[in-house]
Amino acid sequence: MLWQPIGVVHSCFREKFGIPRQPGLAPHARAWIEMDPPYDDPDAFRGLEAFSHLWVAWVFHQNKATRWSPLVRPPRLGGNAKKGVFATRSPYRPNPLGLSVVELVDIQQEAGSVRLLIRGADMVDGTPVIDIKPYIPYADALPEALADFAAEPPRPRLRVTFSEHALDQLRHIDGDSYPDLDRLIVDVLAGDPRPAYRAKEADGEFAMRLYQWDVKWRIEGDRVEVLALEPMPHRTPERGKVGDSP
177-228: pLDDT as tens digits: 888 999 999 999 998 888 766 655 657 899 999 999 999 999 988 899 999 9
Average pLDDT in the 54-80 region? Answer: 84
CA atoms within 13 A on the CB side of 84: 3
| Model pLDDT for residues 28-40, shown as the tens digit of each residue | 999 999 999 999 9
What domains are defined for the chain?
A: 7-148 (2.40.30.70), 159-241 (3.30.2310.20)
Distance CA 209, CA 230 (A): 10
Do 22 and 80 touch, CB atoms closer than 8 A? no
pLDDT at 120 exceeding the cut of 70 = yes
Residues 129/7, Cβ–Cβ less than 8 Å: yes
Residue 39 is predicted with a pLDDT of 95
- Identity of residue 134: P
Indicate if the pLDDT at residue 246 is higher than 50: no
Segment 12-19 mean pLDDT? 91
pLDDT at 233 over 90: no
Say yes or no to pLDDT of 235 above 90: no
Instruction: Tell me the whole-structure pTM to 2 decimals.
Output: 0.84
SS3 for 35?
strand
pLDDT category of residue 1 using cuts at 50, 70 and 90: low
φ, ψ of residue 40 in degrees (nearest 5): -90, 15
DSSP class of residue 156 equals P
% helix, strand, coil for the chain, step of 5: 15, 35, 50
pLDDT at 238: 37
- pLDDT at residue 91, as a whole number: 86
- pLDDT the model gives residue 164: 96
pLDDT at residue 147 is higher than 70: yes
Q: Is the pLDDT of residue 10 over 60?
A: yes
Tell me: cis bond preceding 137? Omega within 30 of 0 counts: no
Assess whether pLDDT exceeds 60 at residue 116.
Answer: yes
Question: Residue 200: what pLDDT?
Answer: 58
Q: pLDDT value at position 65?
A: 72
- Residues 59-86, mean pLDDT to the nearest whole number: 83
Residue with the larger pLDDT of the pair 112 and 35? 35
Confidence of residue 88 (pLDDT cuts 50, 70, 90): confident
Cβ 221 vs Cβ 244: under 8 Å: no
Higher pLDDT, 25 or 65: 25
Per-residue confidence (pLDDT) for residue 111, from 0 to 100:
78
Overall size of the chain counted in residues: 246
pLDDT of residue 32: 95
Query: Which amino acid belongs to residue 130?
Result: I
Backbone angles phi, psi at 56, to 5 degrees: -120, 120
Handedness of CA 20, 170, 231, 174 (dihedral sign): positive
Specify whether the CB–CB gap between 82 and 97 falls below 8 A.
Answer: no
